[in-house]
């Protein structure tokens, strides 16, 4: 699915949600390049279009891979999605890619457990 630095994800899991939000808004590539907003936030494809979904996933990886706060962005999104699916690309993953991570994390409550579960789920999906 994707490759995210495990140490960065462990560190991100220790941060508060407000700290994650502030860091991603301050340092995220998508926050700094508003002229390309349509590229950063493309409309989600319909669930019935596997080709469009694959293109969306490729776009997510290409845009987010070089981002310095990718792990923080993913951690923030996974916390926000604990109750409902969010729209758009977060941490280089599409909503349907994050959904199994959210489900896997529901059984854990410490930052270390959450990060470990996320790392395992990401590696199994690769």
Query: What is the per-residue pLDDT across 36-89, written as a single tens digit (0 to 9) for each?
Result: 767 777 778 888 888 888 888 888 788 888 999 999 999 999 888 876 766 788
Q: Which residue has the higher pLDDT, 20 or 102?
A: 20
For 21, the domain range is 6-125
Within-domain flag for 27: yes
Within-domain flag for 120: yes
Contact 115, 9 (CB under 8 A): yes
Least confident piece of the model among 4-13, 82-91, 95-104: 82-91
Cα–Cα distance measured from residue 96 to residue 38, given in angstroms and rounded to the nearest whole number: 20
Number of domains into which the chain is organized: 1
Within-domain flag for 57: yes
Within-domain flag for 19: yes
Cα–Cα distance measured from residue 117 to residue 6, given in angstroms and rounded to the nearest whole number: 11
Within-domain flag for 1: no
Look up residue 87 and give its DSSP letter: P
Q: What is the pLDDT of residue 2?
A: 54
**pTM for this model (two decimals):** 0.78
Within-domain flag for 34: yes
């Amino acid at each position: 699915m994707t490759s995210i630095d495990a140490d960065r994800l462990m560190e991100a899991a220790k941060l508060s949600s407000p700290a994650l939000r502030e860091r991603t808004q301050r340092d995220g590539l998508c926050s700094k390049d508003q002229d390309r907003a349509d590229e950063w936030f493309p409309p989600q494809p319909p669930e019935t279009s596997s080709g469009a979904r694959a293109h969306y996933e490729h776009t997510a990886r290409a845009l987010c891979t070089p981002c310095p706060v990718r792990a923080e962005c993913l951690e923030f999104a996974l916390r926000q999605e604990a109750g409902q699916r969010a729209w758009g690309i977060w941490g280089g993953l599409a909503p349907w890619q994050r959904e199994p991570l959210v489900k896997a994390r529901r059984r854990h409550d410490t930052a270390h457990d959450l990060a470990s579960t996320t790392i395992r789920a990401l590696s199994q999906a690769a």
